[in-house]
Amino acid sequence: MNGAILVLIGAILFSAKAVVVKLTYQFPLGAVTSLFFRMLFAFPFLVWIAYREEKKEGATRIERKEWISVISMGIVGYYLASLFDFVGLQYITAGLERIILFVYPTLVVVLSFFFLKTKIHFKEIFSLLLTYTGVGIAYSQDLKVGETKDVTLGAFFILLSALTYAIYLMGSGKMIPRLGAKRYTAYALAISSLVVFLHFALFGRYEELIQPFEFYILAFFMGTVNTVLPAIFVSEGIERVGSKAAAIIGSVGPMSTLFLAYWFLGETITFFHIIGTVFVLSGVFLIGNQKKPKQIAT
């Protein structure tokens, strides 16, 4: 299959996760239980992918220090990011969730400025203004249909999710080229699954494990079609078309979530939602098109 098509399908499937999560909240359960079932159904496939990638000819051995990095980034980038995301989705629409989550490239720029002392140029400042103006526009529209306290709380948790994912990207920059995107992602997701299982064992509500059959179908769909398949498709697509092209194609995510949420959840799409999304996409594109300084081999 063409690499661009793989990335496109992967982006749409992954973005649809927010819609499926919202559908699970129609049943009597909380965020932790929904996340538990997502990772429960995804875990066997993730272990299989990691095992297959590990046995490939030429696969590099993971050193002890590298395992520490993989484990810590799995906890930050997938456990915490997913937990914050699922909690936030209890309070805000799926459409706003995807718009806020998509700001993570701008958060990488901000974090790099504060912790890596990387300079921020005018083009990046302009892109930050565009991005967060877009988020503000979309946020203001949700305030009209929801309680201010709930929308603000939900937006805060989703922003935390984007922040932890940005930290994951910064911490994984050297490891992904060495281990390969698919192998690294499989390990990180599998590790996050184990942490989610531990979290549920300690703090979960066991009575929420018993749900109608329709819920388990949704949970299986969320764990496989919205988690495992997108990870495979996007990884394969990046190998064929490159990360820059994949990022551009993947920008279909926020817009596709708006329409999927409209069809399946009855969420309202306003003119200002679309304007906000366009602002966010424009800002992220400007960040993504920044020229990077050439690396000097040592």
Residue type, 147: E
- pLDDT, residue 243, reads 67
Dihedral of the CA atoms 175, 35, 4, 53 (nearest 10)?
A: 40
By three-state DSSP, how is residue 41 classified?
A: helix
Is there a contact between 222 and 17 (Cβ–Cβ < 8 Å)? Answer: yes
Mean pLDDT of the chain, nearest integer: 89
- pLDDT, residue 70, reads 93
The b/e string for 130-147 (b: 16+ C-beta within 10 A; e otherwise) is bbbbbbebbbebbeeebe
Flag residues of the chain having pLDDT under 70. Answer: 1, 243-244, 289-298
Q: At what angle do helices 252-265 and 3-15 cross, to 10 degrees?
A: 50
**pLDDT tens readout for residues 95-135:** 999 999 999 888 988 898 888 888 888 888 998 999 999 99
| Torsions phi, psi for 268 (to 5 deg) | -80, 135
Is the alpha carbon torsion for 161, 164, 165, 166 positive or negative?
A: positive
**pLDDT tens readout for residues 18-41:** 999 999 999 999 999 999 999 999
pTM here is: 0.90
The secondary structure of 197-241 as a DSSP string is: HHHHHHH--GGGG---HHHHHHHHHHHIIIIIHHHHHHHHHHHHH
